Structure formats: C-alpha cells, structure tokens
Homo-oligomer: A and B are copies of this chain.
Amino acid sequence: MKLYSYWRSSSSYRVRIALNLKGLAYQTQAVNLLENEQQSPAYATLNPARGLPSLVLDDGTVLTQSMAILEWLDETYPTPPLLPPDPILRAKVRAAAQVIASEVHPVNNLRVLARLKAMGHDQTDTVAWMKHWMVEGFDAFAALISPTEAFSFGASPGLADLCLVPQLYNARRWGVDLAPYPRLVAIEARCLALSAFDAARPEAQADAT
C-alpha cells in the first residue's frame, strides 16, 4: 500500500496511526500542502477532492477521505479493532471521532485558512479562528467520551483516540491552552507511549522540515 501523506496533515496522521496499529506495511508518498502539490492535475486524478490522505492499494484501487479509509481498514483488518462490537458504543465512538473529524478539522484546514487570508484576515484573526473551533470541539469531545478509562472509550486506543491525538498536536502548534483538558492530555500521553502512535508523529515523517 502507498499512503499519500503530508507530515503535518492531521487526517494523514490518523491513517498513519491506524496502519501502524494494524501492523500493515506501507510506503509514504509526500504531498506538500504548503506548495499546493495536492492541486496538481496528477494528484486531482487520484483524489478528485484534492485532499489528503489517499491510500493506494496494491491492485491500484484508490481510497480517499480519512474516515472512510479508517472504516475500511477496520473492516478488512479487524485486529486490533478501532471500533467496539456493541452498536450503541460504536455510535458513541464514531460521534466523538466526528466532533473532531467533521466539526473541528474541516473548519481549520489549510484551504480554509488560505480563504480567510484572501478575504483580508491577518494572522491574529486566523489564530483566533483556529482556537475558537478547537476549544468548542475539545469541550464537546471531553463530554462525550468515557470519564475514566485509559483511552477515550476503553482499555485500548480506537477511532476517537486516532482523531484526538493529531488534533492535540495542532492545538499546541496554534497555542490552545490545554490546561482545561487534563483527561484529553492524559489519553494523548498513553497513546504516544505506544509505538504505533509514536512512529506516526509528524516529526517522525521523512517529509518533516
């Protein structure tokens, strides 16, 4: 498998963690978002939404959208599971994951920031914008997860943790105060102590600068 990825892309980071947790070997093809490589005609043919990541299987099949890729990985390589077996608990894990994947990340990605800058906003405005959506998202995420277990929903990391850890990385980059979220920071520390998360960290990628 080949993963089209950018070191700081949090949706790429989610999929890197999952591939590592599942013990799957993959090559990485860097796509530099800062140089708009995702807008190249060649990449747009691969991924019409021009986003990251894309996962190309050995038979050439191209999968896009991180949350769809994660569901496919869990269906195809079920061990260790990213989702629990109980349908209600699956829905709760997916809901927490989607607070980050659908409510925070899309409003904070590079193309949105570029648009805000094109509309005349400076760095102060964009930092305030980033922080606003992250704080709203972390408040909701913290209220939706289990209050006591080692990870967001159990004794092993799952889909919600895969979304949380990259978003906390972003939060630190943008200066979000994480003091109100000790539970989230504790989960993050347990995740990053695992080699699957550690090897997926942005700084561990070959295209990190």
Listed in ascending order, the chain A residues whose CB lies under 8 Å from chain B are 48-51, 61, 63-65, 67-69, 71-72, 75-76, 87-88, 90-92, 94-95, 97-99, 101-103, 105-107, 112, 115, 119, 121, 125, 129, 132, 136-137, 139-140, 143-144
Contact = CB atoms under 8 A, between A and B. Distances in A.
Contacts of A71: 90-91, 94
Contacts of A92: 63, 68
Contacts of A68: 91-92, 94-95, 97-98
A36 to B, nearest CB: 14
Which of A48, A92, A99, A132 has its CB near the most chain B CB atoms (within 10 A)?
Answer: A48
Closest 10 CB pairs of A and B: A48-B143, A68-B94, A49-B140, A72-B91, A65-B95, A106-B106, A68-B95, A65-B98, A48-B140, A64-B95
A125 B67 CA distance: 31
A88 B56 CA distance: 12
A115 B132 contact: yes
Contact of A51 (B94, B103, B105, B106): B103
Contact of A106 (B65, B95, B103, B115): B103
Contact of A121 (B63, B67, B119): B119
A112 B112 CA distance: 11
A49 B99 contact: yes
A62 to B, nearest CB: 9
A164 to B, nearest CB: 14
A67 B65 CA distance: 14
A65 B99 contact: yes
B98 A107 contact: no
A131 to B, nearest CB: 12
B129 A98 contact: no
Contact of A144 (B49, B75, B129): B49
